[in-house]
Structure 1
């Protein structure tokens, strides 16, 4: 465990090649991450000063940048910045890496300058033992230009989650244009149906979550289209993400799941916890 002192700062920001002072500006007002959300990002938990699955997260960051059509960030530079920002926040429980297309016009057209890299840390998230989630009315477009990319264009997620919070839920789920279950605002979703663990395929429009990928390698999961009415016949369900790991779903709106957590969720969570304990960068 990384030793900390009571006076150690909570939260740090790296930008422009250095650690910023508290409250110091990290990006320009005309940076396209601000102007139009033209950027990509990753977030992961930090355990004892080590960001979990950093290699996988950086690989997805590069894929998202390439998919968005912006310059690919430098892996070595990011790793150096990660070491610096975590050293500046020895209490870090969460790391976020943001890469944008850089400064540009006050519109959709991109500038021709270098990209902007910003890293920040903060305390880890605390989730309830089981979660109530809301199935929202909006759809994910599985054929959209940003499908499968983790971009900073997150307004629809923010809106859906705000609605879920007003309903007393901690996450919102999306359906896709075909009417199948897709994903949450920042999570992938798994159901146990007829004693089989299933999750929507990437063709549904969901993001290839790092935790999702690891779970597919750890346990038996069937990737298939999941009809919305299967929620009502599922014996258990859970969410996965880099900040939640494996989190049991107790209810979807007014429908209570029979078991939360059930035996499958408990076993999957234990297998993932064992992986985290054994391998910080699987």
Structure 2
């Protein structure tokens, strides 16, 4: 049984108990992060914790995430494995009655645990996990930039693809422009140029996205343009990628049953994943 962290203490997972009056349980009133680690090194650790602080501040919870670095270090030490995901969730806390308004003088509930993941991805077309996706109108709320634990909208969109044997759902707003995936940021490549939607309240400011774009700007001649991307541009793309902590730079080879480009992994992806694998631990600003 793995060791978890709950409100200042480390314990077996079976011993961790949270009140049903916790607002994270009743309302999804909390923020979370998932941080991949390999050989004890977190990818974008500082960036993840900064996003957590920003998310909590946006819902009215003042929280210092810096001490979580020590929590993460101890969890990695207590749980065997070279390749682990660390999940951290902070809810507003527990209050004696169910009431939509924010209660005064409650302490946040802080929970963290780890689980085994595969090794870091390698830039090899033969070993890459390719993705087949479907498209859908984005039916989630209008604050997708907050990494809230209220994930039902994302879950339903993901299930739309997963239930049909696909890997992800590409989402489009009311103007017919790409937002993101149900659990990933999205990109297209056309004539060697990478296009991705600009950050807004319609998509999550992904840490893998930030790391990748920083690496491409600093270590490559690949041109990246942040602008609206239409559905037709997606369907006409030479390459499509999706990024997340688990996917890293995931190559999409099929959309709605149609091949992306040649239907094979693209050369721009190979260059991008090569650079990501080499430099991802260097970006933590």
Is contact 1:95–1:122 with CA below 8 Å preserved after alignment?
yes
Contact kept in structure 1, 2:144 and 2:201, CA below 8 Å: no
8 Å Cα contact 2:198-2:227 kept in structure 1: yes
Which segment is superposed worse, 266-275 or 214-223?
Answer: 214-223
> When the two structures are aligned, how many residues end up with a matched partner?
268
Q: Which residue of 2 aligns with 1:88?
A: 78
Quick check: 1:275 aligned with 2:268? Answer: no
Structure 1's 204 and 252: CA in aligned 2 closer, same or farther, altered over 3 A? farther
Distance 1:26 1:242 in 2: 28
Unaligned runs of 5+ in 1: 1-8
> Which residue does the alignment assign to 1:139?
139
Give per-residue Cα distances to partners, 1:135-191, cap 9 Å, x unaligned.
1233345xx3x3311110101111111121111111112212322100012210010
Residues 44 and 221 of structure 1, relative CA distance in 2, 3 Å threshold: same
Q: 1:238 — aligned with what?
A: 241
Question: Is the Cα contact below 8 Å between 2:144 and 2:204 reproduced in 1?
Answer: yes
- SS, match of residue 70 in structure 1: coil
| 2-structure distance, mates of 1:156, 1:272 | 30
Identify which of 176, 187, 199 aligns with 2:184: 187
Task: Compute the displacement of 1:251 (Å).
Answer: 0.8
Q: Aligned-residue CA RMSD in angstroms?
A: 2.0
**Which residue of 2 is the match for residue 30 of structure 1?**
21
| Separation of aligned partners in 1, 2:140 and 2:26 | 23
Residue 100 of structure 1 is aligned with which of 74, 91, 111?
91
C-alpha distance in structure 2 between counterparts of 1:157 and 1:170, whole Å: 13
8 Å contact 2:147–2:204 — kept in the other structure? yes
Distance in 2 (alpha carbons) for counterparts of 1:239 and 1:25: 34
Q: Distance in 2 between the 1:109 and 1:25 partners?
A: 27
- Contact kept in structure 1, 2:133 and 2:254, CA below 8 Å: yes
The residue matched to 2:200 in structure 1 has which SS?
A: helix
Contact 2:136–2:171 (8 Å) recurs in 1: yes
| Cα distance in 2 for residues equivalent to 1:125 and 1:177 | 37
Q: Sort the Cα spacing of 1:163 and 1:244 in 2 relative to 1 into closer, same or farther, 3 A.
A: same
Which residue does the alignment assign to 1:123?
116
2:125 aligned residue: none
CA distance in 1, matches of 2:99, 2:266: 49
Summarize deviations over 1:110-133 as a string: whole Å, max 9, x none.
Answer: 333111111110011689610111
The CA deviation at 1:230 is: 1.0
CA shift for structure 1 position 107: 4.0
Distance change in 2, residues 1:175/1:18 (3 Å): same
Q: SS of the counterpart of 1:229?
A: helix
- Asked whether the equivalents of residues 21 and 94 of structure 2 are also in contact (C-alpha less than 8 Å), the reply is yes
Give the aligned partner of residue 154 of structure 2.
157
CA contact (8 A) 1:139 1:177 kept: no
CA contact (8 A) 2:145 2:200 kept: no
Residues 172-228 of structure 1 deviation map (CA, whole Å, 9 limit, x = unaligned): 122123221000122100101233110011137111111111122122310000001
Alpha-carbon distance in 2 for matches of 1:41, 1:117? 10
